[in-house]
Structure 1
């Protein structure tokens, strides 16, 4: 609230000063206009062959000086007003921090109404058939947040063959959590846990034998409490977070989708890079060096987007200090050192090439394209 009050005070100063200058300018211009019109009328009323006297010439010169001084005064007042207006922008920058990351918060478009509004603004028309798989997955994820495994287990059973084809352990982890839920009830839930294990765990013996042995070992400590047993780690609440992530990853993989929304990735990367880009742009404008950088596929500075935004290895040529591209890939020399193709071509002297890091001479044709 104090930030708003600080900006409001600056705006009040602008309005007050503008009002004062406006009234003063109207009054002065009206006086000058009337004075000039009076002189013109007096001149028009005189004889046509009348010559100006020395006194009249002096009066005209004084009138011209008065007009010039008035214009200069009004110009100065306007300049001062512009300076006052600029202080409003400085007050906003000083009291309000630009939070670009707020545009990528998960709760911004979390409700169906907000999603529909975004689609309308973007002009997107999503057919019901296209929304059905996503709606089902979102409903399952909402149930997992409430620790309801039923919908997730039904979905995993319906897609068992596809999940096994991609070597997924989602169904086993869901059954494991359901089994642990039964056994957490103590001796009263022992019978249900045994029946559940007999019904569902047989199919997982070959792939998850050790995990099943740990689950069966929990029965030994059931009378005294599992929380003080060697299997207490199986009661960790983080297992619910893990199953949420596993389901999201495997379900998206099954649908051929990225776990992270491409739009979310772009927005988050842009929000991270935008402040640095705005700063470098301001510096380049101040130093008048905007024409130096005109690269289309690279940024003027290196911006670290964090580990989560690294999807492939990056090689920067130690000779040219440039990042490798498809047209300028990394090349491995026979001595083991790696440089870019452009650097290789520049260092080559006919059929000879001397490694810039060691004295080994070799042929440029011996260099091999490598992939990180």
Structure 2
């Protein structure tokens, strides 16, 4: 945050100086225009067939001199602005790391498989953002098979999500009505929150909308009485304040923009859970996790380079330190082998023995004595080939 504050301070200086120069430039340009207009009027008053007098020549020269002087001042101020702008770039270089190659692996995207996987998650991300034309162009230009992109209702969900943000609840209410039973089974609050927004939207019409609001409440709130009785009572209480306006009442929080943002997020979350798709695209998850890990990895890399121990950071799919990610980025359990006390990986996955105990593949190979494997936790003997791979 200190780095951001330092850069923001320089940006504010640029904005303030730009505003001052802009105001000064407007005044100077206005003065020049006024001067030229007066000069033009003075010349126009004379005889059009007569020659320019010596006095008029002096006035013209004086006007040109003043114009050049003002132009020079504008040029100087503009040149000074460049110095202030360059300080922003220097502040960014001083407070942020521009080169992240120290933490990257150049061999990751050298295989065709990895390149196609990257194109796939990028195309999926564009579809989620409603950028179908960009996704289609990427699929076409990268040669990605169209069947590799699983058709999911990203476009519809994104359209409904955007419509909520713009104050149009009709698409969201239609969707919620279509999946009403499924939402109730999941104990979702989405449908009620949508109707609450619609009710408050009607009340924005003032006293004249009271009859319509009551009719809407009778038609749509009956099914929610058991779960949201207190919330419905609060909504009915807003009717008392229609004369003075909801914005002047204790219930003004119900009209806050945050209510719409919250409901839009609830829609996206519940809809994705109901349809069995991820709320966030794989690309955004990867980028967010990488941004969390990057500062620690950069500091570690600098320490390793200063102590000349860069060999510790090998090319395997693991990091030399543990990165603490947010709970939202934890998607499955992690297995640590109780024998070797190592975390499992793709090269050393967990293996389930016939007796039910689980050890890593490396531990399985070390404990195997020919065709016989004795479980380290129970007396059962078994064949190592009977162990089964476990996925978390």
Where does residue 319 of structure 2 map in the other structure?
Answer: 299
Where does residue 193 of structure 2 map in the other structure?
Answer: 173
Q: 1:286 to 1:233 in 2, by over 3 A?
A: closer
- Within the candidate set 133, 141, 149, 2:153 is matched to 133
> How far is 1:285 from its partner?
4.6
Where does residue 206 of structure 1 map in the other structure?
Answer: 226
> How far is 1:237 from its partner?
1.4
- Residues in 2 aligned to 1:236 and 1:314: alpha-carbon distance in whole angstroms: 42
The 5-angstrom pairing of residues 79-158 of structure 1 reads 97-98=97-98, 111-120=131-140, 123-126=143-146, 130-131=150-151, 133-158=153-178
- Within the candidate set 151, 156, 160, 2:180 is matched to 160
Q: Say yes or no: does 1:236 pair with 2:235.
A: no
1:315/1:324 contact within 8 Å kept = yes
The count of corresponding residues between Structure 1 and Structure 2 is 234
> How far is 1:134 from its partner?
1.6
- Residues in 2 aligned to 1:266 and 1:273: alpha-carbon distance in whole angstroms: 11
- Residues in 1 aligned to 2:312 and 2:203: alpha-carbon distance in whole angstroms: 69
Where does residue 186 of structure 1 map in the other structure?
Answer: 206
- Residues in 1 aligned to 2:304 and 2:140: alpha-carbon distance in whole angstroms: 38
- Residues in 2 aligned to 1:224 and 1:118: alpha-carbon distance in whole angstroms: 55
Instruction: Find the residue that maps to 1:207 and give its secondary structure.
Output: helix
Where does residue 289 of structure 2 map in the other structure?
Answer: 269
- Greater shift after overlay, 262-271 or 188-197? 262-271
CA deviation vs aligned residue, 1:39-75 (integer Å, no higher than 9, x gap)? xxxxxxxxxxxxxxxxxxxxxxxxxxxxxxxxxxxxx
> How far is 1:249 from its partner?
0.4
- Within the candidate set 258, 265, 278, 2:278 is matched to 258
> How far is 1:144 from its partner?
1.2
Q: 1:123 to 1:228 in 2, by over 3 A?
A: same
- Residues in 2 aligned to 1:233 and 1:245: alpha-carbon distance in whole angstroms: 18
> How far is 1:289 from its partner?
2.2
- Residues in 2 aligned to 1:315 and 1:132: alpha-carbon distance in whole angstroms: 32
Q: 1:128 to 1:222 in 2, by over 3 A?
A: farther
> How far is 1:307 from its partner?
6.0
Q: 1:99 to 1:148 in 2, by over 3 A?
A: farther
1:168/1:250 contact within 8 Å kept = yes
Q: Say yes or no: does 1:222 pair with 2:266.
A: no
- Residues in 2 aligned to 1:209 and 1:175: alpha-carbon distance in whole angstroms: 14
- TM-score, with structure 1 as normaliser: 0.52
> How far is 1:167 from its partner?
1.1
2:334/2:344 contact within 8 Å kept = no
- Residues in 1 aligned to 2:206 and 2:328: alpha-carbon distance in whole angstroms: 41
> How far is 1:171 from its partner?
1.0
1:314/1:323 contact within 8 Å kept = no
> How far is 1:290 from its partner?
3.5
- Residues in 1 aligned to 2:243 and 2:99: alpha-carbon distance in whole angstroms: 54
Unaligned runs of 5+ in 2: 1-91, 101-120, 351-358, 360-376, 379-392
> How far is 1:215 from its partner?
0.8
Instruction: Find the residue that maps to 1:208 and give its secondary structure.
Output: helix
Q: Say yes or no: does 1:290 pair with 2:322.
A: no
The 5-angstrom pairing of residues 12-51 of structure 1 reads none
Q: 1:287 to 1:248 in 2, by over 3 A?
A: same
Q: RMSD in angstroms over aligned alpha carbons?
A: 4.2
